[in-house]
A = this chain, B = another copy of it.
Amino acid sequence: MSERDWRPRYVQLAEELREKIQRGELPAGEPLPSEPELAEQTGISRTSVRNAIRQLREWGLVRAEQGRGTFVRRPKVRVKRSNVERYQWEKDRVHEPEEVRRQTGGTEHDTGLSVHDLKFHAKYQEMDAPSDLAHIFGVRSGTKLLQRTYWTSAKTEDAPLSMSRSYLVHEVVAKNPDLLSDRNEPWPGGTHHQLSTVGIEIDHITDHVVARPPSPDEADILRTESGDWVLVLRKISTSTEGKVVEVADAVYPADRTELVYNIGLKRWNQA
């Protein structure tokens, strides 16, 4: 006598399919049986079958494609971002000769893809500081900011995408008019070099990491599935004079991203 299974039928079906997928019985890329087929096989209604499939989608195991079928997703390879090393690398790059700086940008360094795999987009806009940014910069709400939006689109499928917004105090960077136009992007040497042209050196950077559901435009650019989340990294850069000079928000698809931070500790015997 086996015990009665009190779980809802759609949960039971979802679990069955999950096990089949994880045992490799339904390999990645393969379609599930169609919804009417599953309904007939299991003797439950199509609505409940759809409920089970919705569960599998929330678990990130399958992806439904309109008119084609529902397919087992291949496990996402997470792209590692080591920001401690990356930020130092970006800073060091400023004193390289221009032809070296031209060869790789931050994005290529992030993704490991070459310039040829990526399309780079940049857009500059002026805006009034909302209260949270004003507070971080230590300026009054409504102070003019330069907002720079960057996104990359990959030519190859399954490549990691990203989207970021950077904020600078307009008055600070306006000393060099070249910094105000997106026609100068991609700037060889990146933000560190841009800021160095107005006499700013960055002393330290603080990363703030949160995860949340994507906004509609983020979902669009990153091509996330329904139920996916994004990792949001707010990078706050402080100059050697102790002023916050840049705030940058980067948005990554959470299931394809791993952030790595290396932290050295003081030795006891050197205290």
Q: Could you tell me which A residues sit within 8 Å of B by CB distance?
A: 58-60, 78, 80, 83-84, 87-88, 91-92, 94-95, 201-213, 226-227, 229, 231, 240, 254-255, 257-268
Q: Is the CB of B203 within 8 A of A261?
A: no
Partner of A262 from the list B206, B231, B240 (CB cut-off 8 Å) is B206
Partner of A260 from the list B201, B206, B254 (CB cut-off 8 Å) is B206
* 8 extra A-B contacts, CB within 8 A, seeds A87-B263, A95-B268, A206-B260: A58-B213, A84-B261, A204-B263, A204-B265, A205-B262, A206-B261, A211-B257, A229-B254
Compute how far the CA of A58 lies from the CA of B258 in the bound complex, rounded to whole angstroms: 23
Taking A266-B88, A266-B91 as contacts, is the C-beta distance between A208 and B255 under 8 angstroms?
A: no
Chain B residue at minimal CB-CB distance from A264: B204
Partner of A261 from the list B212, B261, B266, B268 (CB cut-off 8 Å) is B261
Chain B residue at minimal CB-CB distance from A91: B265
Number of copies: 2
Task: Write 24 A-B pairs (CB below 8 A) sorted by A numbering.
Answer: A58-B226, A60-B212, A88-B265, A91-B266, A203-B265, A203-B267, A204-B263, A205-B262, A206-B261, A206-B263, A207-B262, A208-B259, A208-B260, A209-B260, A210-B258, A210-B259, A211-B211, A211-B254, A212-B254, A212-B255, A227-B227, A229-B229, A229-B254, A261-B263
List the B side residues contacting A255 at CB < 8 Å.
211-212
The 4 lowest CB-CB distance pairs between A and B, nearest first, are A211-B254, A209-B259, A211-B211, A207-B261
Partner of A264 from the list B203, B226, B229 (CB cut-off 8 Å) is B203
Compute how far the CA of A265 lies from the CA of B92 in the bound complex, rounded to whole angstroms: 10
Compute how far the CA of A88 lies from the CA of B257 in the bound complex, rounded to whole angstroms: 26
